[in-house]
Structures are given as C-alpha cells and as structure tokens.
Structure 1
Amino acid sequence: MYFDGIVYAHAADGDRGAVVALDATDGSYLWHFFGGPKRGQQFTGVDGVTFDASATWGPVLPDGTDCAEEGGATSWMHGAVDPELGMYYMTFGNARSCTSSQNGSLRPGDNLFSSTMVAVDAATGDYKWHYQSIRHDVWDMDNVHPPTLADIEVGGEERKVVFYGSKSGHQFVLDRTNGQPVLPVVDQAMITDSRQNHATTQPFPETRLLPECLVWEKLDPANIPGDPWRGVPNYNGYQPDAEGDLVFDPDSYVAVDEPFLTYPDGHPSGHREGCMYDPQWDVPILSTTSQNGGGDWSNHSYSHSTNLVYFPYGTNPVAHYNGASANGLRAIGQYQTGGILAYDASTGEVAWTNHLGTDMSHGQGPLTTASDLLFVGQIGGELLAMDATDGDVLWDFQTGSGIASAPVTYEVDGEQYVAVFAAGSTNPYGGSVTQGDSLWAFKLGGTYTTESGSQEGPDTAPLSIRRPVGGAAVEGETVGNTVLLARSSRTADTAAARDSVSTNGMQPTHLRVPVGTTVTFRNPGAETFPGFPNLKPHCATQFFEGEFNVELQPGETYEHTFDRAGEYFFNDCTDPRPTGKIEVYLEPQDQPGALRFTPSRLELGSDTGLFTGVDGTVSAHFELPPGYRYDGGAVLLAPLSATPVEASKVTANKNRAIVRFDAADVDNNVPEGETTLTVRLEVLNPDGVQEQLVSSATVTVVK
C-alpha cells in the first residue's frame, strides 16, 4: 500500500507478525507495529485509556518463552488509508504461538492484537484504537482482509465507518475515528473448555450475514447436495438413525470432553451443535464457518448508489482439534460452495444472497459501478455481471481459467473498460482448478475472438466441489473389492495401525469399481491381524444419500452391491475423521454409426458479432440398441474442454434419444471447420443394468 510518500508493507508470516512503514524515496525504515506486543508495552488510544497489551497473553512461561513474541499475529493483507483523518487501518490474524493456533492452554487472555483491527497514525505509526473481533482465537477464524472505508448515514447522522470482518461471516461496522461499533454488537455467552482458557463471551453483530450453526439434515438421495451448511454425519456425535435422521448421541466420541465443558445458562441443547466458536481439544468438533470460509481474503465493495456492501463468501465447515494440520480439517466429502451477498450498510440487514455454487472467499472480490452493475469472477473461469440491486446474473463470460482476483474498471479516451486477471489458484479446490495467465479487458461492442473463433475461452476443467479423500485411487480387483475400516495401513500388523483415527484410516481411502460390483467392508479382527487386531466397533456411514450405515464389531463384515455409477463417500462413527470413497464407474461402450447431428453443419455464428448473440440448439440423434432405455446423463464431449457440455433437453423413446444442446454452450468448446464430436449417455440394458454408451460423428462448425 502506498500513500503520501510512504509504502506500507505487511509481513505475511514469521514470529510476531508486523506492519512496516518505509520511505518511498529510498526504502528507509520509518516505523513498525507488531501483532504481538513486547512485554510491558503500553498503548494509549484516542479515548485516553492506557493499557498493557502484553498482559492479555498471560505470564511469561517458566522457560522464558513469551507467547506474544513467539508467534503473535500476522497481518496477511494490505491495509487502508484515510487521508482526511490521517489514519492507517490494518487487520491482524489469529494467535499462533505457544503450542499451536488451536491450543490456547499456555496463552490465557484475549491475546491482543490477534484477530484485531488496529488504527494508527499513518505518518508516525502511533496507536489510535483497536477493535478485537475474536477473543483468544483458537479457531483461525480471524478477520484479515483489505478494509473498506465509507461515509454513510446511520439513524439520520453521517458516520465515517470502516467495514471489518471476513472468515467469521461477521461484519462489524465501526466508527473509523474511534473504533466503536456503529451498528449494534452483542457479547454472546459461549461454551467454554477449561483446558483452552476460552473467553466466556464473544462479540457478535446483532445482525448476522451467514448462519451461525451447522444444519444436521437427514441422509436422503432426494436432498443432494442439501443445505450449504449441512454437517457431515458422525461429527459432533450426530449419527443417523434407522430413517437417516441425524440424532445427537451423548455416548459418542464427544463425551470425552464433557468433564471440561461449561455451558451458558439456558443453553438450548446442552451439547455442541456445530456453532461458531464451539470449543475443541483432542477430538474433532465440526463448526462453521472455517479458516477457509466466510469472506476469508476476498475484498468487499461498497456502492454509494445502493448503500449496500457486497460480501463474497465460501462455505466450508471445519473440524478443529489439537494437531489438525492447516488449522483445522475441512470435513472430507462435504460440498465446498459459496456465493455473494449484499447487506445494507446503515442497518446490517441482508438485502439479497446469490449462492452461486463455487467458493468466493479466495480473491473473488466484487466491483460495483455507478450504473448499479456488479462484476465478480469465479474460480470456474466465469466473469459475471450482476444486478447490484437484487443479485440477478445479467451476463456471464468464460475466460478459460480460474479467476481469483477482483475486476477493475478504467477509462481510455472517454470509453469505459472492465478488466480481470484469470490465472487460476488452488484454494479450496486444489489441482482441479484450471490454471492460466491471461488478462481480459471488455468494452461495449468489443470484437476480439480467441483461436477457436469464439469470443469466450473454453470451459474450465471440472472442479472438485466435494472435499477429496487422500491417497491415489485403487482398483477394486487388486484388493478383493474389500475396504478395511479404521486401519492406517492395509498390511501393517502393528499397534499404531489399529483403530485408526487418521483421515486415511479407511484402506484404501479411494476404491474404484465398475457398476454391479459387491464391495466388502471389514472391521479387521484377529483373523486379519493376529498381532494387533482392531479392538473397537467401527462404522461405514455413507453420506449424504444414506445408501448404507452399518456398525461392525472386530471381525465382522458387510457387503454392498453398487448398481449405479457415482461417488459414495463414507466415514466412521467411532471417530469421523477416517473417510473413504467408493468410485463406481461405467465402462464406455462405443456404438459406431449410432450418432448423427441434424444438420451436420453447425451454424454457431452471431448476428450481432458478439458471443451473447449465439443462440439456437445443436441437435443429435443417438440410436439405441434394441431393448435399451435412456437413463440420463447425456453430455457432449467437445475437443477444446475437459468438461462435458450438458444436454439442455433429451427426448427418448424405445430406440432413440434426441439430444439437444444450447448452441451458446457448444460455441466456445469447439473449433471452426471440420471436427469430431462425441455424445455420451447412460442407459438401462434389457436386464435393467446401467450401462454407458458413446458414439462420435463428424460435423462442420461455422462461426
């Protein structure tokens, strides 16, 4: 960040964490501010109150370690300057010192300036005020983001505010002159764990943007994917009953924590429901949002026209426990989604929410314009233009690689442009994100076309929307189509391998079998591992469809036949961390000559010269073998994209499927000229068994 001859640099890691101000002319040091204060350091704010911030970290440990100086708090994102007030605003992250970020046993107190916004004199670095959003953070739910400043009207009075909040899904609207809340904040009583030195209350904006607790929905094939904030079964002791309803079991693995927990008076359930700031120790407790959810590091946008603040978010509940890597386990098998919402800056009330379906918390910052348009990118490569007043998508453009940056707008010779950088990313979808290195600029009437002849790039590769299991896929026939429950190794007869609670505690974690295969789930006893058999009962709970849920004693087995293709995640009731997946696949059967496109000359041109003018349909006729019936899943395999184009309509009878695709969906995924297209679909053979058929045909594409 640069302002008035000063460069503000934020240290991204390391002990304590700091913001450093440098002279822009020669790089010389001007001042710094640590996230973890020096022992005995005094601060006096604009309110005249003097305090010792180091006292909020507890005493120096017997070995001389000072937790505030060992790990402190990092300021991950750049700050913001108010030129009129002469203040610089910076946000510091979670406390990470003395054992780990999820263990607060050695750092009693609020741990300033972790999870805190701090305002200083922009020229001298002198402390002005602070606002701590989480006291004694052991969840990595810090609110680190580029602050947004605005002058708004609240209760008929103009106020200078800064909007503060990200991962937690909170938005604190603060007076940027003194750090006091402009909109109501309540101190909410929390469940505490005596081992963690938790704060008994946490600040919550009176009006929430996102749900405060998980939803424990019934396992049901008719409810997929279900509520975005649904909890994965078996976590927190929520286990399926005979009907698939998730019911809390007080005798489950979470009972080990009960002697250390204190519940607020009047707590509605008397157990941890997966709500924000639920306490944890050695066993996993799933809660919302997460260290990779809420707003995380995406910026916000404020519109003077609508008086709305635009807040992109991700949905990715996390299980915290001591030793969890990456500050918490995002539950394997859950859907990682997200969207964008808008709230009234003067009241905090949510005006609209558009749950777009992909994570929006990792750089997908919005841009709003004076004409009430909102531009925002998605990790699937789409740039969207939305109605800023109601969240409707008005226009979308495929760039061909993931977007993890905010659009910008500028003007050249009186003509307005919008530009966005599409370079891919990894969070939270890992290697499934299509990488790239392209800068796209748009103006009204732009005529640029890609090598394919379309203005758009090809569709990006499919995203791993569900949190993946670890380990490589194993073909079922190589392991006797058998899964061993709660073992960290398929072969080791050791004490360390039995009754595993690790995430790779299903062996194998990823089993591939063809449709029609019977898979055996075994809780291995002495007959399998004579030296160190499993000693505890273990489950295979399939979610979220509820296809099966069995509890097996050591030595017992369960067999299940998979008659439809799909991904079947399952976990353990004894401890939900061990999670596996059965990938049930269909072998494509080629049907030479069965496919023809009508007409075979595909007119994909646009009357307007713009990609938005491509309309109509592409029709394909697929002849089915005698006695076969169409069963769904019709897609077009196009040469320029790894993502199949889904059919917009299918009309099927006993010997043919007429498959239609929107021409606009096909346009950017096929080249001009003669090319080969393939249609793939699923059928039921005369015996009612699911199969997959493919056929190809040559067409001529005109654009």
Structure 2
Amino acid sequence: MKFNPILSSLIAIAAMTTPTIMFGAAADLNACCTPADKDQPKVGGNLGNQSYSALNQINRSNISNLGAAWMTSMSEAAVTTPTPGPGAARSGQQTTPIVVDGVIYLDTPAGGVAAVDGATGAVKWKWQPTTADSGFGTNGTRRGVSVGDGKVFTLAAGGRVVALDKNTGAQVWVSQPRGPGDATLGGIAKGATVYHDGMVYIGTNDGNRGSAFAVKSSDGSIVWSFYGGAEPGRVVTDVNGVTTDAGATWGPLQANGLSCAVTGGVTPWIHGSIDPELGMAYYTFGNVRSCGSSQDGQQRPGDNLFGNSVVALDLKTGAYKWHFQSIRHDIWDMDNVHPPVLADVNVNGQQRKALYYGSKSAMTFVLDRTNGKSITGVVEKGRPQDSRQHTPATQKFPAQGMWLPECVVWERLGTDNIPGDPWRGVPNYNGYQPDASGNLVYNDTNYLDVDKPYVTYPSDYGANHRKGCMYDPHFDYPVLSTTTQNGGADWSNHGYSPRTNLVYIPYGVANVAHYRSAGSNGLRALGEYQTGGVVALNASTNEVVWRNHLGLDAAHGQSPLITAGDVLFVGQPDGMFYALDAVDGKTLWRFQTNGDVEGGAVTYTIGSTQYVAVLGQGDKLWAFKLGGSYKTATGSSEAPTPAPFVVRRAVSGSAVEGSTVNNTVYLARANQTTDTAASADSIATNGMSPTHMRVPVGTTVTFLNPGSAQFPVAPNTKVHCATQFFEGLFNPKLAPGESFQYKFTKEGEYFYNDCTDPRPTGKIVAYHEPQDMPGALQFVPNILNLRPANGVFTSVQGLVTAMFKVPAGYTLDGSVQLKTPLSTTLFPAVTAKMTSDGKTLIATFDKALIDNNLPMGDAVPVTVTANFMNGGAQKQLSSTANVRVVK
C-alpha cells in the first residue's frame, strides 16, 4: 500500500530533503507531561500516557518518503537467556515497544522479552524462561514492559513480576506479590508495567478480585495494593472531603457470608498514569462480573464501587485520594479501562490539570486530576429501567455527549444500501422488523414482550420500547445496543498532542446484544459489520473535531502515536499501518505489515535519524525512516497482503455443501435429525440447519419451518422467519410445515435471521465455478515494472493493464479482480470496460496494491476473474497469463 495519490506533487518534492531533528533533553519520566523525544521510555510515551513525541524529522511534508529500514522476526530470533536455544516461528502479541538509548524493548510472541538495536534490527538479547531453567514459564498475552534502575520489568506465569538486566536480559529478581493476609492480588499477567522513581506500578487482569499495586524496583517486594471491589466496611473520604461507604454499594452479603465485591473482578487490566508533582497514580478499574455474570445485576444492587471507575491513589502508599465512576451498576461489560491521559490544557482562559477518561462507552470525561471533579461538565440522563436488574435511574454523560452515536441506527434494507451506516442494526433485534419497503420499523408484538411488566422508560427517552441506546436494560432475551463489547475505545491507548490540542481516540463499532446468560461480554450480532477508526476531540471543550472511519476495528490495542511533525501513526487488524494528518485526520500514507497490528508504534532517534517502529502480526518488528529502502524476499518493501479480513460476524458451524442437504435449510433447528422437545423452536445462535451453506450460483434453496412431517415427536410450533440482511432480498414468515424457495443468481454471502428470536442466524454463500479461458488474457505490456522510482516503496505507482477476450453473448456484470501468487486476497480493478464490439474486457489494476503480492521472475502467473451475464445467469470467466515482473 502506498502514499495517498491525491496529495500534491509539491509534497513529493519536499520528501527528498531531510529536515534537522528538533528535540530537547530526553524525557526523564519525572513529570507527567514532558513529551518523549529521542527515546520513548514508556508504553504511552510518558507518565501521562500522551503517546506523543516531540520529534519532527518525519512530518506531513515528507511522509511520502517514509520507507522501511529493517524488519526482524521476534519469534525466530534465537533465545539467549536463561538457556540459549533456537527461536520458533510464532505470531500474536499485543505489546507496544519502548525505546531507551536507541534500544527497543518489547514482549515477544511467546511472552518473553527482547532487546533490539533500533538502528539495525539486530537482536541484542532475548529472554525466554522455562520451568526447567527458571521454575516458571511466560504469560502468553503481554502489553508492554518498562525500563528503569538498570532493569527491564515484565510479568511471567504464576503471578510473577520479573526484573531483567537491561544490558544482558539476565534475571535479576523474581517475585510473587501477595496482598494483605497473603490474599491474591488478581491475575498478574497482561498489563504493561510502569516504572517511576524506584517503584514498579502494575495492574491485574481477570480473576475474582483485581487490584492495582506497586513493588520496589530493587527487589520486587510489595509496597502497597488497592482492590477495585470495595469490601464491606470500606469507607473512603476523598480530597474534597466527601465520604463514601464504598463497601455498602454491593448490596447484602450472599448466603456464604461474602460480599459480591470479593468475587467481582473490577480489575485495572491496563496500565495507569502517574503525576509525580501531585504524587498521584491513576488507575481505571473495569467491569463487575460476580454473583451471576457481567450481564446479571440481580444479586448486587447498588453502584458497585469501584467498578467502572478511575481512582487516584497516593504514589508512595496507595492511599485513596478520589474516584470518578463513569457507569453505575454495570450490567453491560462496559469497562472503561483505557490508560488515563494527563495533560495541562487551557480551558476558558485557565490552565487546568486535566485527566481524560472513557472507553467502550464512547464517552470521554474531562476531569481535574487534582480532585476528580469535571472540567467540561457532566449531565445525568434518565435511562430505561428493569426492576429485576436494579438498574440505576440515571447514568453519567459528558455535557458534550458521546463521540459515537448513542443509539443503534435502524437502517433500511436494500441492495443499494450496502454496507450502509457503520452503526446499523441487524433486523429483528429489539422488535425492529422490515416492512414491505425494507424499512426497519418497530413491531409492538415481538420476542421482548415478556419484559414489558418490568421495564419503564423516562419521559425524555422518546419511545416506550428499547431503541438500542446506551444503557438499555436487558434480562433473559437479547437487547441490541451500542457501543458495547468491542465497540467504543475498549483498551487501546489514547493520545494527546500539545501542538494541536487534540485528544486522539481509536475506536471500534460493534453493536452488541446483552442478556443474562450471554457468554463472555455479550453477543455481537451475527452478520454485523465490524468497523472502526480514529476520532479527535478538542482537549479544551471535549467536542469532536474530526473522525477518520478507517473501516476496521481500532479499539483493541491499535494505539496512536502522535508526533510534533503533526503525523498520527496507527495500525489496523488487516496488517495496515497508517499515517494520518494529526490536524485534520486525512490519510497520508500506509504500509502493509502482513499481520494484525495489536499494539502501538514508537518513535526515536539514533544519531541524526528519526525512526518509527511497530510490531505486525505480534511478531514482525518493522522500523521505518525517511528514504528507507528495505526489501523483503519478494523484492518489495511491503509484506504480502494477508488473507481477506472477516468484516462480518461469522455464523457458527463449518460450511456445508448445499447438495448434501438437498439445498434445504431448517429454520429454528440446530440440526436436521434430532427429534426432541429441547430441539424444537431453537433460539440458539446455531438454530439454523445448516448455519453455513455453500451453493453454486443459480441454485434454488428451500427454507423450511419443519413440522410434524419432519419431526413427528417434537415439531416446531411457532412461526419462524428467514429475514435476509442487509440486502433485504427475502423475508418469509413460515408456519410449521411451510417452506419458501429463493434462487441465488449472483455470487455473495447472504445472511438471514429469525423474527421469533433474532439469535438463530444462517448464511448462504453463493459461489462461482469459474470457466477457465486459456489464452484469453494478456497484459500490455507483458513486463510489469514495479521498481520504485526513487528507491522508496511509495514511488511504485501507476496502472497495470489487462486485456481479456470474452466469448460472444457475455455482458460484463462487475467484480473484475486480479489474483496474485503471494496472497489469497483478490484485488479489484481500478477501471473495467468492454470494447465497443463487446469482444474484449480492458481492466486496469493499481501497481501500489499488487507489487508486494507478486514475486520477481520471468514467468509469474497472474489471474484475472470477471463476472458476466449470459443466458440470464451470472457466470464467472477466468484466465491466467505469465508475465515478467521486475523490481
């Protein structure tokens, strides 16, 4: 992928010069908000988690000249300590690297730690403990290390904190911290460590009860701990003099004599922020998940402190200072746990010590970090109530509102509306069903009728039913709402630039259905699109300035890096690494790393050169610099494009060829054989049989609501639907024993669900069996010149032209694509048209998209496929030509 071609040629000219690096003294981590510069010594850049660097050699004017400098596989690098040994190919890690004195420190895919020369990519050492040599192994998922006191601090299996020698990787000490009375502190495994002034600050993840704690950097002995779930009798008084009986916010004790707080989770599973001047550490504590589940609040009436709260603690003692709870009595798993961003900003003419807090809820609260009070205003909004769930009458919202829509968008179904609004809801949820024109309208008789005696609505809600808005309550049946589960910002770091005075938030969009028995943290509606991007807020007013909807989830570790060059770097799950304009959000540059980018980037200088580094696929560490001309084995700088990213929530079950089941789908049944009462009228997500059917284009599929003829003992007894979305091609409502047929005339994937309960969802994939046309394809010219004009990958530009001879009677019907040897992704044509005589298809393809997916060689096979209409049916023609590829 290349530099945005719409930018002017003046930028390309400017790219050929290298400005002088501007930076002051290295950030010493003695102040919250000193920008990182030649190094980036902490995950989040500095103690205030601003993810900002004062470096500006790489900037908006020369970003087109940014190229790869080197790439190193962290898994394949040899282990050097404790026991030397070979590496082993492995992928998947969520770490954000840090840099100290030109050396990059990061977690490896296997959960170890490595030190890498920032100029060359050479691995200096790699630590990978085993039970044989250390008595313990590693944790799988890690999100960053810290450096201080001559050591690197990480976490390992068994709840261990480990200090390594910064220069050699040798183990200095290993500790297993415990709480008062030898109590567990929670899961010590994933979160990034934070070093400051002789102490290491850590947050726990998972487990029955979570805590934030600190240990001495000299020996790992525990200094203090603070539990997120307040036990009975826990009374706190904040710096404003307000006293709160936090332990009383969990309801009565359970039959076993314990409070729900001691099994409530409430973990600070992302690292905190530090303000040394104020002597405070700030931790965000997550959702409540005890006494039932994270979706069930029946047994824990009350606000459930300190769930979904940011808590300020004394740096040296862990003593409580203040808290701000963003969500009372959470039954949605909306844990707001992103690392708080600290900044000194001007608000209404006054310099304020601000803290920016928010996450999955798509809200950002701007607080005074000295006392926890709001700076830009908070409003209490009435929310629908379910008396069984003890839901609070109001919830907090920023006065400026959310930065994503507050409610699901119930958008019209139609072939002309694909993919549609990013926040569109899947039909049939919440009673929204398509009318004859495909409009999703509320049907007052629906599967949620059983809730009506228990649910009430505030006068300003605007409806007497659940619209799919933030904090809509639920009970035993699914209620779709925004922006939960992997929506909002979840756990990506946020960022702040003092140059633009903007706060940057990566986000994801995924409406989620909640109900008490929902697994994990709710059901993301099957068939729903996954999208996301980056939003920027004015730090002084908390108002949205711009949004770049990149198209894929950016809420899960895709943390931004902002520089004084006014460039924002951020990765995506499809392996793409982007550079955006930090001022207006426009895309400036992009690079394919070949794997999910699940962490943030880092920037640093060595000598007179600024570098940017990021981990792709949790394994490949890429570094970039101006004029970088590193080449992979294929001769291109970029890695091949990975397999197509799945952007719609998959149905359960493996694909079944339609011919094996008589091209018939049974509605509301998990299979086509079991004849028991428990199998009838299924409301499970796999309650379509088969859930995933593949058929050739032109096949007629039967949708059957099986009755007594199919199941004599336990037939379905209810009406069921096959509501196709989002194209809206069919929506039969079938009584038991009734069937409906639909002929799939074009390729594609067609999701459908049930109106009786929206959870049962199926998918029909209509595919082509391509007709091969040997000799029909040629490229003009037959030599594909993919050499970068100036040595940097961004200068591979232009079009490749293909000519495809077409049989008589074939009319182009779209979907002209190119297949390359190095990727399973198909690349769409830039232009495609038939010659005036209808005998030849002329298609062009972007060199910038395909050069990293073609190997060099004299006879490289390249295939073009295209869909045509012939005899009233869609057909696919395919042809392959061998071309010479030079790089």
Whether TM exceeds 0.5 here: the answer is yes
| Distance in 2 of aligned mates of 1:448 and 1:72 | 46
Residue in structure 2 matching 1:288, options 482, 501, 516: 482
In the alignment, is residue 174 of structure 1 matched against residue 379 of structure 2?
no
Deviations 1:117-176 (A, max 9, x none): 000001100000000000000000111111111000101000001110110000001100
Q: Mark the CA change 1:471 to 1:114 in structure 2 (over 3 Å): closer, same or farther.
A: same
Q: Sort the Cα spacing of 1:631 and 1:679 in 2 relative to 1 into closer, same or farther, 3 A.
A: farther
Q: 1:683 and 2:867 equivalent?
A: yes
| Contact 1:628 1:683 survives alignment (8 Å) | no
Aligned partner of 1:434 in structure 2 is none
Q: Name which of 488, 496, 516 aligns with 1:302.
A: 496
> Please, which of 848, 855, 859 is the counterpart of residue 664 of structure 1?
848
Amino acid in the other structure paired with 1:667: D
1:318 to 2:500 alignment: no
Corresponding residue of 1:495: 677
2:593–2:617: 8 Å Cα contact kept in structure 1? no
Note the C-alpha offset of 1:681: 2.7
Which of 52-61 and 567-576 deviates more?
Answer: 52-61
> Which residue of structure 1 lines up, in the alignment, with residue 757 of structure 2?
575
Provide the rounded CA distance (Å) in 2 between the counterparts of 1:217 and 1:72.
37
1:610 CA drift (Å) = 0.8
2:77 paired residue number: none
In structure 2, the residue matched to 1:79 is 272
- The CA deviation string for residues 307-360 of structure 1, in whole angstroms up to 9 with x for no partner, is 000111000000000111112000000101001110100001111111110000
Rounded to whole Å, the distance in 2 between the matches of 1:288 and 1:267 is 15
> 1:506 and 2:688 equivalent?
yes
Aligned to 1:401: 595
Of 582, 589, 601, the match for 2:783: 601
Larger relative contact order, structure 1 or 2 (CA cutoff 8 Å, min sep 6)? 2
Query: What TM-score results when the alignment is normalised by the length of structure 1?
Result: 0.97
Alignment of 1:178-257 (within 5 A): 178-207=371-400, 208-257=402-451
Q: Deviations over 1:599-656 (max 9, x none)?
A: 1111111221111111221111111112212211111111111111211111213111
Aligned residue identity for 2:615? F
Alignment partner, residue 432 of structure 1 = none
Instruction: Give a deviation string over 1:212-242, Cα, whole Å, max 9, x none.
Output: 0011011111000100001100000000111
Q: Alignment partner of 1:496: what SS?
A: helix
CA deviation map 1:102-124 (0-9, x unaligned):
01000000000000000000110
1:65 Cα deviation (Å)? 3.0
Report matched runs for 1:327-342 at 5 Å.
327-342=521-536
Question: How many angstroms apart in 2 are the aligned matches of 1:176 and 1:250?
Answer: 47
Could you list the per-position Cα deviations for residues 521-540 of structure 1 after superposition, in whole angstroms to 9, with x for gaps in the alignment? 00011010000000110001
Deviation string 1:42-66 (CA, Å, 9 cap, x unpaired) is 2121112232211000111233231
* 1:7 aligned residue: 200
Q: State how far apart, in whole Å, the 2-side matches of 1:155 and 1:199 are.
A: 33
Moved more, 131-140 or 446-455: 446-455
Q: Distance in 2 between matches of 1:115 and 1:12?
A: 14
Unaligned runs of 5+ in 1: 425-436
CA shift for structure 1 position 685: 4.8
Shift of 1:678: 3.0
Q: 1:541 aligns with which of 715, 723, 735?
A: 723
Q: Aligned with 1:63: secondary structure?
A: coil
Q: Tell me which amino acid in the other structure corresponds to 1:664.
A: A
Distance in 2 (alpha carbons) for counterparts of 1:538 and 1:445: 61
Answer whether contact 1:639 1:669 (CA < 8 A) is retained.
yes
Say yes or no: does 1:101 pair with 2:279. Answer: no
Q: Secondary structure at the match of 1:12?
A: coil
What one-letter code is carried by the residue in structure 2 that aligns with 1:674? D
Task: Give the match for residue 563 of structure 1.
Answer: 745
8 Å CA contact 1:298–1:365 kept in 2: the answer is: yes
Distance 1:700 1:109 in 2: 70
Is the 8 Å Cα contact of residues 368 and 374 (structure 1) preserved in structure 2?
A: yes
Which blocks of at least 5 consecutive residues in structure 2 are unaligned? 1-193
Q: Which residue of 2 aligns with 1:89?
A: 282
Offset of 1:384 from its aligned partner? 1.1
Matched residue, 2:651? 469
Conservation of the 8 A alpha-carbon contact between 1:604 and 1:701: yes
Pair 1:456-2:638 in alignment:
yes
Q: Give the distance between the partners of 2:541 and 2:685, measured in 1 at CA.
A: 43
Give the partner amino acid of 1:222. Answer: D
1:368: how far off? 0.8
Structure 1 residue ranges (4+ consecutive) displaced by more than 4 angstroms after TM superposition? none
SS at match of 1:658: strand
For 2:381 and 2:349, the matched residues in 1 are separated by 28
Q: Structure 2 counterpart of 1:288, which letter?
A: T
Match runs of 1:317-466 below 5 Å: 317-424=511-618, 437-466=619-648
Q: Secondary structure at the match of 1:390?
A: coil
Q: Is the 8 A contact 1:629 1:655 kept in 2?
A: no
Equivalent positions of 1:607-618 (< 5 A) are 607-618=789-800
Shift of 1:683: 3.3
Alpha-carbon RMSD across the aligned residues, in angstroms, is: 1.0
Tell whether 2:470 aligns with 1:276. yes
Distance in 1 separating the partners of 2:588 and 2:479: 40
Say which is worse superposed, 364-373 or 47-56, in terms of deviation.
Answer: 47-56
User: Corresponding residue for 1:430?
Assistant: none
- Structure 2 residue aligned with 1:428: none
User: Whole-Å Cα distance in 2 between the matches of residues 203 and 660 of structure 1?
Assistant: 53
Partner residue of 1:121?
314
Q: How does 1:582-593 map to 2 (within 5 A)?
A: 582-593=764-775
User: Residue 665 of structure 2 corresponds to which residue in structure 1?
Assistant: 483
Comparing 409-418 and 188-197, the one that deviates more:
409-418
Matched-pair contact (CA < 8 Å) for 1:680–1:692? no
AA aligned to 1:608 is N
